[in-house]
Amino acid sequence: MSETAKDTEADLRVRARCRETMLVRAFHLFTDPWKDEERGQCTLNQQLLRIVSEAYFKDLERKKDFHGIRYADAHKRAGYMMKWIMRFRPIQLVREDCCVRALLANEHFALTVALRFIRLSPSKLSADLYKNLIYSLRYRHIDANAWALSCFLLQKSHG
């Protein structure tokens, strides 16, 4: 491996750690409005979160390298983050009889982070649209670029 490649990989690791820290804090803010009982039904697995962060940066770096992009736009960041949160599902259930909020915590968290990435306030979306997005995250195999396009369209139509 060349020195430049090593530097790039080390840099990616540093950025991934910063993102991991941010996501941990975001998770606590995300679950803060939950009832104590709901919060006790799931936990954030930091090993999985680290994989999410590193996979996100490696994946996005590949895309940027191919297109000669210096910084990825907010829609791509949102799409790629949604993809990797859904792939590794870092929020894990700790009980058998969980509420819907806990059962769909990864989908809900991925969407909330993505909406912040594109600076779109959730209150601007209808409950019906929100439900459809959660459903698509849970049941559809949608790739990062398609999510990036979805985020772009969401921002254009609701931003």
Interacting residues with another protein (CB under 8 A): 18-19, 21-22, 25-26, 29-30, 32-34, 64, 66-74, 76-77, 100-101, 104, 108, 111-113, 115-117, 119, 121-123, 125, 127-128, 130-131, 134
In the complex, minimum distance from the CB of residue 68 to another protein, in angstroms, rounded to a whole number: 6
**Cβ distance to another protein smaller for residue 75 or 88:** 75
**Cβ distance to another protein smaller for residue 43 or 112:** 112
Characterize 57-83 residue by residue with b for buried, 16 or more Cβ atoms within 10 angstroms of its Cβ, and e for exposed: bebbbeeeeeeeeeebebbbbbbbbbb
Rounded to whole angstroms, how far apart are CA atoms 154 and 106? 20
In the complex, minimum distance from the CB of residue 100 to another protein, in angstroms, rounded to a whole number: 5
- Going by C-alpha positions, the residue among 42, 49, 41 that lies closest to residue 22 is 49
The three-state secondary structure class of 71 is coil
φ/ψ (deg, to 5) at 158: -120, -10
In the complex, minimum distance from the CB of residue 140 to another protein, in angstroms, rounded to a whole number: 16
**Cβ distance to another protein smaller for residue 2 or 123:** 123
In the complex, minimum distance from the CB of residue 40 to another protein, in angstroms, rounded to a whole number: 16
The number of helices, as runs of H, and strands, as runs of E, in the chain is 8, 2
